Amino acid sequence: MRILQNSNTPIYRQIAEQLKNEILAGKMAEGSFLPSIRELARDLKISVITTMKAYEELEREGLVTAVQGKGFFVNAQDSEMLREQHLRKVEDALSEAIRFAETAGMSDAELKETLEALIQLKKQEA
C-alpha cells in the first residue's frame, strides 16, 4: 500500500480507497480479513486512529464488516453493484479527462482520437 504524505487527500481516505479498489477488483476475496488495525498502522507508520477511520469508512460503504475480537472481513459483493461502482469510476475518470482536454485546448475529435488510440494500445498489450 502506498501513502502519499504530501497529497491533498487525507491518509485515511487514501487507505480506504486503495482497499476499496482491491475489494472491487476481486483481489480480496469474500470472507478474507483485512490486516489488523494495529498491524497496518505499524506497517504504514501512521496512527491507529487513522487506520480505524479508513476501516470504518469501508464498513459504512458496506464493503467490510467488523467482527468483535477478530477484526474486519470482506463482505460478499453483489456483481451488479460492482459493475455500477466500476462504471462510476469510469465516468469520473472520463469527466476528469474532459476537463484536462479543455484546459489543453483539445477539440472533441482530438479527445476521441486519443481515447481510441489508447484502447487500441491496450488491446495490443493483451
Which tens digits make up the pLDDT trace of 94-124?
A: 999 999 999 999 999 999 999 999 999 988 8
pLDDT at 81: 73
Query: If DSSP codes are grouped into helix, strand and coil, which group holds residue 78?
Result: coil
Pairing of strands 64-67, 71-74: antiparallel
Question: What CA–CA distance (Å, rounded) separates 45 from 81?
Answer: 33
**With contact defined as beta carbons under 8 Å apart, do 59 and 20 qualify?**
no
Question: What CA–CA distance (Å, rounded) separates 84 from 77?
Answer: 12
pLDDT at 56: 96
- The distance between the two most distant Cα atoms of the chain, rounded to a whole number of Å, is 56
pLDDT of 61-97, one tens digit each?
Answer: 889 999 999 999 999 877 677 778 778 889 999 999 9
The three grid cell numbers given for residue 73, joined into one nine-digit string: 472481513
